[in-house]
Structure 1
Amino acid sequence: MDAPHTRTATRSPLQTAARITGIVFLLVGVLGFIPGITSNVDQMTFAGHQSDAMLLGIFEVSILHNIVHLLFGIAGLAMSRSWTGARNFLVGGGIVYLLLWLYGLIVPHDSSANFVPLNTADNWLHLLLGLGMVGLGTALARRHTTGSRY
């Protein structure tokens, strides 16, 4: 009797980083709907700065904001299946978060243009996420490229 074939998938550190990032985004998206972890869930709106729901009592969230986190997490998991996809998710997603940080700095928090919604804590988090994702994506991609030459 033949032993069952087991497929061992090896992920690069880049793919692992993208996968973990995707899982974190999924977790944040789910937590944004859970009372107790998110305060004022009953005051959450679909979008806009009028949403008074606060994830961890710090980050302003809305239904749209949570859905975006969930979709970003799904994208991270899907794209982490390949090295190129993982790099594109981390670097491209990081750039999106840096643009979102700039948007949060430019748009007044009480403006109707603040449809996500964003507050000061969100802005700082988006800056850190953007820098972290771009940094991981470029550093781990560079390590793979230089490592494969030898």
Structure 2
Amino acid sequence: MTAHRSHRAPAAPVQRAAQLVGIVFLVAGVLGFIPGITTDYGSMTIASHESDAELLGLFQVSVLHNLVHLVYGLVGLTLAGTAAAAHSYLLVGGAVYLVLWVYGLSVGPDSDANFVPLNSADDWLHFALGLVMIALALALGHRRPTRTSGTGAQR
């Protein structure tokens, strides 16, 4: 009896990073809908700066904000399927978060333009996320790991 070997290449480090980032976003999105973990849950709005709900009592959230986290997480898990797509997710996604950071700093917390909503803690978290995602993309590249055979070709 011969052992069957998988012909599937191992995931590249960039794919694992995209999976991890995707899971973090999914967890944040789910936690944003859990009363207690999200303080002032009853004041959560669909969108707008008038939502007083805060994830972990720190990050201002709304239904829209939580849904964005869930979608970002699902996109990350989906794009982790190939090294090139995972690299793009981390690079482009990180850039989007840096743009969101600038946007958050530019609009006032009580402005109608603050529809996500974002507070100062969100702004600085977006800055850190953007930098980390871009750093992961650049450090890990989009190369596939090379296959090595310990005993030569087996048929």
**TM-score of the superposition, structure 2-length normalised?**
0.88
Residue pairs, 1:62-141, within 5 angstroms: 62-141=62-141
RMSD: 2.0
| Residue identity in the other structure for 1:38 | T
* CA displacement 1:50-98 (0-9 Å, x = unmatched): 0010000000000000000000000000000000110000000000000
* CA displacement 1:84-117 (0-9 Å, x = unmatched): 1100000000000000000001000100000000
Q: CA deviation at 1:3?
A: 5.8
Question: Higher mean Cα deviation, 5-14 or 51-60?
Answer: 5-14
| Residue identity in the other structure for 1:136 | L
- The structure richer in helix per residue is 1
Q: Matches of 1:51 and 1:9 in 2, distance apart? A: 46
| Residue identity in the other structure for 2:59 | F
Q: Matches of 1:9 and 1:47 in 2, distance apart? A: 43
Size of the aligned set, in residue pairs, is 146
Q: Matches of 1:138 and 1:48 in 2, distance apart? A: 34
Shift >6 Å, 4+ stretches: none
- Identical-residue share of aligned pairs (%): 53
Bigger Rg over Cα? 2
Unaligned 5+ segments in structure 1 are none
